[in-house]
């Protein structure tokens, strides 16, 4: 195929989806999907990000170059230069990101996703304070699944506002629901009921650092 629209149609047919079905996965109408496939409209970055999550080889769609396997394609967009209306967010694998402290500088970046700056602002997020983390394990099943990505706001580190936080506990990065208890203790809760809650006593707080609040989940619909 010699056009983005043609390759997009080819990928849709490879997955056995109708224009309506693929459009639903990306949050657009059948008509918009048709316009993309006939090259009457250029697809946007957030649309392509949604397609990647649905199994579309977005690298092939944009470049015509298909890697040997889809596993070789990193999450999100290939190496293109989005417009100024998009903000880059570095995405880290929580297992690979094992350094001490709240800084992610020097950590291996899994990939970089570009999000519409206006949409981040609508969610109250400052792109400069946002990192993406890949969830590992099943301790947060019901809220976050193994392999999901979550956007973390590093400016929100006060557990007085209960929620799901990225923490550094004894040198290990973990994602837990956090509640502050009377006397300054913290209650770390796994949403998977098979895991017992953990209490961090005030005298043990030196081993714990809250790195940011988990705000947006990116994952498959099941």
The hierarchical CATH code for the domain 4-72 is: 1.10.260.40
Average pLDDT over residues 211-218: 91
The hierarchical CATH code for the domain 86-218 is: 2.10.109.10
> What does the domain layout of the chain look like in residue ranges?
4-72, 86-218
Q: Identify the weakest region by mean pLDDT among 101-115, 125-139, 195-209.
A: 101-115
Tell me what pLDDT residue 82 has: 63
Taking the C-alpha atoms of residue 12 and residue 6, their distance in angstroms, rounded to an integer, is: 10
β-pair type (130-134, 149-153): antiparallel
Coil/strand/helix, residue 11: helix
Residue entry with tokens 């992610």:
104
Q: CB neighbours (10 Å) of residue 155? A: 14
Q: Identify the weakest region by mean pLDDT among 10-14, 96-100, 104-108.
A: 96-100
Taking the C-alpha atoms of residue 182 and residue 170, their distance in angstroms, rounded to an integer, is: 22
Tell me what pLDDT residue 191 has: 92
Tell me what pLDDT residue 95 has: 65
Segment 37-60, tens digit of pLDDT: 998 888 888 888 888 888 888 878
Tell me what pLDDT residue 215 has: 92
């Amino acid at each position: 195929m010699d056009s983005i629209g043609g390759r997009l149609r080819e990928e849709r047919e490879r997955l056995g989806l109708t224009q309506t079905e693929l459009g639903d996965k990306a949050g657009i109408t059948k008509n918009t999907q048709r316009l993309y496939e006939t090259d009457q409209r250029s697809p946007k970055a957030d649309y392509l990000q949604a397609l990647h999550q649905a199994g579309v080889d977005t690298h092939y769609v944009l470049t015509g170059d298909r890697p040997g396997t889809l596993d070789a394609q990193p999450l999100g967009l290939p190496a293109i230069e989005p417009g100024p209306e998009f903000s880059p967010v570095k995405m880290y694998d929580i297992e690979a990101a094992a350094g001490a402290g709240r800084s992610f500088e020097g950590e291996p970046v899994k990939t970089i996703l570009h999000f519409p700056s206006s949409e981040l602002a609508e969610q109250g997020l400052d792109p400069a304070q946002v990192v993406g983390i890949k969830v590992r394990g099943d301790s947060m099943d019901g809220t976050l699944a193994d392999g999901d990505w979550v956007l973390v706001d590093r400016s929100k580190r006060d557990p007085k506002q209960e929620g799901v936080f990225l923490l550094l506990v004894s040198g290990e990065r973990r994602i837990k629901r956090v509640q502050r208890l009377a006397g300054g203790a913290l209650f770390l809760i796994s949403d998977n009921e098979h895991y017992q809650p953990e209490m961090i006593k005030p005298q043990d707080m030196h081993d714990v650092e809250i790195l940011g609040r988990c705000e947006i989940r990116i994952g498959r619909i099941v």
